[in-house]
Structure 1
Amino acid sequence: MITNILKDKPTKLFVIFSCFFVANALIAECIGGKIFSLEKLLGLPVHTFTIFGQSGLSFNLTCGVLLWPLEFVMTDIVNEYYGPKAVRRISYTAVALISYAFLMFYFAIGVPPADFWIGGGVADGIPNMQDAFAGIFGQGMRIIVGSLVAFLVSQIVDVTVFHQIKKRTGEKHIWLRATGSTVISQLVDSYIVLFIAFSGKFTWQQILAIGVVNYIYKFTMAIVLTPVIYVAEKRIENYFGKETTAKMKAAAMGVSNE
């Protein structure tokens, strides 16, 4: 039976997408504790600006944003060929496994460390390995909860907007449903995580300003990655064949194509 399943091209591709989607989301959460300068990454001078009365702002972003755009590209592709139920299934799976991973991180932090290991990194400039380990893996619970809620809600918004646009445009204007759904869902994502994680710690003006900075990056990446959708769709159509592709797209929209 497993041989037949693995020979089925749509099933095989869905398994690959699901694994990569979950792994990508987990990695993004794990590296999200590091903040980087986008200007420095691109070799540009750092300029500060003011939004909503908040001065000194620049494009300092969490490393998680390096991977999240790929999640929304995959969401659109899965949505196109497998439908909203498939997107929700892999999204719920990702949230469940990320939650499990962070539970294990906190368990690992609480395990009593060996004495020789605590100071084992002194030669490398790490005076206390336990503190370093806890600092990397022990992100604040509000940030974790905010990130997971934002991810789940934004996925649902992305799926809904994607299908509403496709119902009105049919197979035309791939860029519109892919980019349109992403830019709307990313706006939701940007502010949900900030409000949950930093309400009471930051002022409303700070949250709004930081959200704008994050959204500018996400909006730009949604535009930049739009050609990837076209390349992926072309390769998938060649892989499935036109007949299977047509049936899958029709089924994804809840339309019989018999």
Structure 2
Amino acid sequence: MLYYLNGLFVGLLILSNILAVKLFSFGSWIVLPAAVIVYVFTYPILDVITEVYGKKAAHRTVLTGFLTQLFAIIFIWIAIQLPAASFYENQQAFETIFTAGFRVTIASLVAYLVSQNLDVLIFNKLKSRHGDKKLWIRNNASTMASQLVDTTIFITIAFYGIMPLGALLTLIATQYAFKFVVAILDTPIVYLLVSICRKKEAIHGSKSVPVQIY
């Protein structure tokens, strides 16, 4: 199951980077990037990995996601630089969609590294205290804290000096409010995935028990 979770984590991560250029709104004052509806689900997946497979496995997943993002940025840049075919009319649109800008890219990578590793750290600390009990506490506490850090770091690095401080704080507050609600709602999903993973590991573990030869 760890391989599937890692694949899902990295896939959602890359998809969120692609969707980041689209903005949507609730009413007239809540504006969010489309990436947020995907990126928020990387945290419960990481929590499941930390819960079932441990801190080291979770840190490897974070590192894998970081390296994948770097490779994606490099290959997207190469694709943009390739000479367009004479009949290809969408080069400008292609560049617009896949070019996030240097500050936004750096903001995304820094926020990702800090917040995801913080999520693993907080979750693991609480697990050491509670054991297998109170999964909902460590899931929500780690996700809510790391999401706040992620949102604050990303928006500050990406937009500080570009927009008024009031608008910056509003952007942080609205995005975090959305992530806060999702963190609460995804708790049953975490319980379900943890249960599935533990059952799978129990089955594989029983199959791998060595036969004693006397």
TM-score with structure 2 setting the length? 0.90
Higher gyration radius (CA): 1
1:14 and 1:194 map into 2 onto residues whose CA distance is: 32
Structure 1 residue runs of 4+, over 3 Å off? 242-245
Shift of 1:148: 1.3
- The answer on 1:27 being equivalent to 2:15 is yes
The secondary structure found in structure 2 opposite 1:112 is coil
Following superposition, the deviation at residue 31 of structure 1 comes to 1.1
* Whole-angstrom CA distance in 1 between matches of 2:204 and 2:140: 26
2:114 matches 1:153: yes
Distance 2:190 2:77 in 1: 37
Aligned pairs for 1:220-235 (under 5 A) are: 220-235=181-196
1:29-82 per-residue CA deviation (whole Å, 9 max, x = no partner) reads 111111112x3xxxxxx2x4xxxxxxxx22x21111111122101100000122
Q: Contact (CA 8 Å) 2:52, 2:197: kept in 1 or not?
A: no
Letter in 2 for 1:145: I
Preserved contact between residue 6 and residue 61 of structure 2 (Cα < 8 Å): yes
Alignment counterpart, residue 153 of structure 2, candidates 192, 203, 210: 192
Matched, 1:207 2:168: yes
**Residue 46 of structure 2 aligns with which residue?**
75
Q: TM-score, normalised by structure 1?
A: 0.75
CA contact (8 A) 2:49 2:58 kept: yes
What secondary structure does 1:200 align onto? coil
- Percent of aligned pairs sharing the same letter: 32
Which residue type is aligned with residue 178 of structure 1?
N
User: Letter of the aligned partner of 1:144 in structure 2?
Assistant: T
Q: CA RMSD in A?
A: 1.8
Structure 2 unaligned regions, length at least 5: 207-214
Q: Residues 82-93 of structure 1: matches in 2 within 5 Å?
A: 82-93=53-64
**Separation in 2, partners of 1:238, 1:160:** 25
Q: Deviations over 1:179-215 (max 9, x none)?
A: 1100000000001001111122123222211000000
Report the equivalent of 2:99: 138
Match of 1:4 in 2: none
Amino acid at match of 2:6: S
Tell me what 2:210 maps to: none
Do 2:52 and 2:198's aligned partners in 1 also have CA atoms closer than 8 Å? no
Aligned-partner residue type, residue 66 of structure 1: I
* Residue 241 in structure 1 maps to residue 202 in structure 2: yes
8 Å Cα contact 2:144/2:183 also seen in 1: yes
Partner amino acid for 2:70? S
Write the distance in 1 (CA, Å) between the matches of 2:203 and 2:95.
51
The answer for the alignment partner of 1:116 in structure 2 is: 87
Q: In structure 2, how many angstroms separate the alpha carbons of the residues matched to 1:214 and 1:207?
A: 11
Aligned residues: 206
Q: SS at 1:113's partner residue?
A: coil
Question: CA offset at residue 241 of structure 1?
Answer: 2.4
Native 8 Å contact 2:51 2:127 kept in 1 = no
- Residue 167 of structure 1 is matched in structure 2 by 128
Shift of the 243–107 alpha-carbon distance from structure 1 to 2, 3 Å rule, reads closer
CA deviation after TM superposition for structure 1 residue 114, in Å: 2.2
How far off its partner does 1:243 sit?
A: 10
User: SS state of the match for residue 67, structure 1?
Assistant: helix
